[in-house]
Amino acid sequence: MEYKIDYLSITVHLPLEECITLYNDHFCLALFMLYDLHHGAKGFTGVKAAALGFQLKHTPGNGSQFCSFMFPGQVCSFCVSCKFFPPGSFNINKI
């Protein structure tokens, strides 16, 4: 039996500046620089994007400080195959 991850969302409980640093340290070389989409998304007032459909949703409307790293389709497969998510590097609390 084969399993495939075709969509991954990671909530990062840090302010936007630290989320951008996290992205730059771990994903920027593969997905290139983030750029502003100049619009929000459901529950967020800002969205930054990168290659292959990656999105960093930030500034939730409820005043909290967290970001959501969205890895849809092609970018999710790419990041998993490149071992950007090595075992034990993230605390997964919901599946």
0.85 exceeded by pTM: no
| Bridge partners for 69 per DSSP | 10, 56
The answer to whether 32 touches 75, Cβ cutoff 8 Å, is: no
Given a cut of 80, whether residue 94 has pLDDT beyond it is: no
CA dihedral of residues 25, 58, 66, 80 (deg, nearest 10): -50
Q: pLDDT tens-digit profile of 16-53? A: 999 999 999 888 888 999 999 998 888 899 999 999 89
DSSP per-residue string spanning the chain: ------EEEEEE-S-HHHHHHHHHHHTHHHH---EE-SS-BTTEEEEEE-GGG-EEEEEETTS---EEEEEEHHHHHHHHHTTSS-TTSS-----
pLDDT in tens, 65-92: 999 999 888 887 676 666 666 555 556 5
- pLDDT at position 46 is 92
- Residue 92's pLDDT is what? 55
DSSP 69-82: EEEEHHHHHHHHHT
